Structure 1
Amino acid sequence: MLNKHTPLNFAPGLMAACMLLTSAYASARELPLPDKGRLLATGGVKQVEGAGGGGLAPWATITGYGSEDSYGVNAHITQISTQDYRLRTAGVAVGIADRLEMSLSTQKFTGSQAPLDKLELNQDTLGIKLKIAGDLVSGQDTWQPQVAVGVMFKRDHAVKGLEALGVTNVKQLGAIDDHGIDYYVSATKLYLDQSLLVNGTLRLTKANQMGLLGFGGDKRNQYQLQPEISVAYLFNRKLVGGVEYRGKPRNLGVDNEKAYYDAFLAWFPSKEFSLTLAYVNLGDITVFNPKTQRGWYLSLQVGN
């Protein structure tokens, strides 16, 4: 478990550990090089916290295209721009034997309008996901979806841009902690005959704005169960369109947090590359810029 002394500014060391674990796992099972044995687009894209799935919600899919006898590795960069804010995220992920996924990502959130035009928030996230039942493709003759469970370990860096107000930590904005853990279970069903994918995720969380504004708050400080829903239509084997919804807790007095929505198009020209474009609605972010934040989401993923 993480505690307040556990650093999550771990890009070099923890990524090396993840790669060593992958190497050890591959050696133990004598896995070959990535075989790209799964169907195009079945690994999903990269969710804003680094997990495989949609843009806003993790799915039960395992990242990459490695079959149960192989593995896959990929990297992503994502940017969301609204009227007043910008979110940039980048990360890497490993999918092993179409069963285990490990991801590492970093988020940078900045303001562009007064009084938060100097604001900068940063967060690191380590994610682990395990498929526990079903199969996305071979389960066409059964009602059972593919099911996975996951955790996300998150830690915030110091708040920048509000030093003149004496604010350098999210706890000074009302959050109880600057680190936390999200737990989730996802169920994903692919209907190949109908070219339709449906995902439902239940997330147990204390995170404020995904954790960028800390965890828990002056209004409430208990875990809450939040729904996340994705529906996608496969126009053809390379182009997917859909919509997503992500429920959010409301823990902070300074942030009347609202649910997230998006409508997206994801293009998969090959198994090494995907591009996702979406129109997003992020609701209210803080009381200092009290208007609905809408804008564009662009994400690039490369790997195998």
Structure 2
Amino acid sequence: MTLSRLRILLAFTLTLSGLSHAGDGKLLGTAGLLQLEGSGGGGIVPWATLAGYDSREQTSLSAFTTQVNVDDYRLLSYGVSASWHDRVEVGIARQRFSIKALGADISKTIFSAKYRLYGDVVYSRWPQLSIGLQHKRLQDGAIASAVGAADNNHGTDFYLAATKVHLGAIGGYNAVWNLTARATKANQMGLLGFGGADNDSYELMLEASAGILFSRHLAVGVEYRQKPDNLGLGEDDWADVFIAYMPSKDFNITLAWAELGSIAGADDQRGLYVSINGQLW
């Protein structure tokens, strides 16, 4: 995706969000973001929260655009997600992973769904719990085959997430945390296929997020995502430090410094993560 196309996507998201009227059923910031794979959550981790601000009587539609630029690669992700009555979320996202040295791209489509099992992130005693899945399809599996993926076409991740917001918990500021357990065979989120010579079975990976809301409009936090190494290429876990600005329920922007480790044998991949989210209604 060229810079000009990215700008068009950003402008489209901003324009629609400016015309939107987000639901009034949740506190500002408690709906989270849309993460890299199009599910409601943080930046790299899906949370138990659903994508929009809809209450039990409302629906919502959200859009996002995210770009991660590290030393040897660039990832562009964009998509939409809908939520019904604060119970069910479905979404579709598109990813384009650019290999700078080769001038080659890997494209992938992700269909996601989530169901809230229990609770509310703010008002229930225990954390909100949700189950979800992300079905991922590669448009061209040639590179996945070349690196030894067992399946170069498609795969599905399943997860259980728990999220809780604690009002005034740290020096009077609101705090949020999330824990996610993901069953997956995906190599680099599925960009390099699924499974491999070292392992072709589902593994349970742990993911976590924690943050502080310093005001109704500003949040700072960290994330961690454990990942399998099915290909024997030394695939590392991911981490980031983020700052999110939410001027209203209709729009937010997140900046992060991402530490992605080894990707396809290229070590020490780190760089800037930028994401824009808009609530279309």
Instruction: Tell me whether the two structures share a fold, i.e. TM-score over 0.5.
Output: yes
User: Which amino acid in 2 is paired with 1:73?
Assistant: L
Q: Quick one: which of 153, 163, 174 aligns to 2:135? A: 153
For 2:100 and 2:137, locate their aligned partners in 1 and report how far apart those are by CA, in whole Å.
24
Spell out, residue by residue over 1:25-62, the C-alpha distance to the aligned partner (whole angstroms, 9 max, x if none).
xxxxxxxx963321111110111000010001000001
Contact 2:97 2:105 in 1 (8 A): yes
For 2:234 and 2:110, locate their aligned partners in 1 and report how far apart those are by CA, in whole Å.
24
Give 1:67 deviation, angstroms: 0.7
Secondary structure of 2:145's partner?
Answer: helix
2:52 is the counterpart of 1:77? no
Secondary structure of 1:50's partner?
Answer: coil
In structure 1, stretches of 5+ residues that fail to align are: 1-32, 160-167
Secondary structure of 1:138's partner?
Answer: coil
Name the count of aligned residue pairs: 255
2:200 is the counterpart of 1:218? no
Q: TM-score, normalised by structure 1?
A: 0.82
Secondary structure of 2:268's partner?
Answer: coil
Secondary structure of 1:79's partner?
Answer: strand
2:242 is the counterpart of 1:242? no
For 2:99 and 2:145, locate their aligned partners in 1 and report how far apart those are by CA, in whole Å.
19
User: 2:149 corresponds to which residue?
Assistant: 175
For 1:52 and 1:36, locate their aligned partners in 2 and report how far apart those are by CA, in whole Å.
17
Larger strand share, 1 or 2: 2
Contact 1:34 1:70 in 2 (8 A): no
2:254 is the counterpart of 1:269? no
In structure 2, stretches of 5+ residues that fail to align are: 1-20
* 1:34/1:86 CA distance change after superposition, 3 Å: closer
For 2:122 and 2:222, locate their aligned partners in 1 and report how far apart those are by CA, in whole Å.
21
Identity value in percent: 42
Spell out, residue by residue over 1:204-234, the C-alpha distance to the aligned partner (whole angstroms, 9 max, x if none).
0000000000000011101000000100101
For 1:85 and 1:192, locate their aligned partners in 2 and report how far apart those are by CA, in whole Å.
39
Structure 1's consecutive aligned runs of 4 or more residues displaced over 6 angstroms after TM superposition are none
Q: TM-score, normalised by structure 2?
A: 0.88
Aligned positions of 1:53-132 closer than 5 A: 53-113=41-101, 117-132=102-117
For 2:219 and 2:23, locate their aligned partners in 1 and report how far apart those are by CA, in whole Å.
23
For 1:120 and 1:193, locate their aligned partners in 2 and report how far apart those are by CA, in whole Å.
45
Spell out, residue by residue over 1:96-134, the C-alpha distance to the aligned partner (whole angstroms, 9 max, x if none).
101111110010000113xxx222111100000000011
User: Which amino acid in 2 is paired with 1:156?
Assistant: L
Q: Quick one: which of 254, 268, 272 aligns to 1:296? A: 272
Secondary structure of 1:60's partner?
Answer: coil
Whose relative contact order is higher, 1 or 2, with alpha carbons under 8 Å and at least 6 apart? 2
| Structure 1 vs Structure 2 CA RMSD | 1.2
For 2:184 and 2:81, locate their aligned partners in 1 and report how far apart those are by CA, in whole Å.
22
Contact 2:67 2:275 in 1 (8 A): yes
Secondary structure of 1:292's partner?
Answer: strand
Which is greater in Rg? 1
For 1:256 and 1:70, locate their aligned partners in 2 and report how far apart those are by CA, in whole Å.
45
User: Which amino acid in 1 is paired with 2:71?
Assistant: Q
User: 1:13 corresponds to which residue?
Assistant: none
Give 1:169 deviation, angstroms: 4.8
User: 1:286 corresponds to which residue?
Assistant: 264
For 2:79 and 2:24, locate their aligned partners in 1 and report how far apart those are by CA, in whole Å.
20
User: Which amino acid in 2 is paired with 1:225?
Assistant: L
User: Which amino acid in 1 is paired with 2:47?
Assistant: W
For 2:165 and 2:84, locate their aligned partners in 1 and report how far apart those are by CA, in whole Å.
21
For 1:39 and 1:119, locate their aligned partners in 2 and report how far apart those are by CA, in whole Å.
43
Secondary structure of 1:236's partner?
Answer: coil
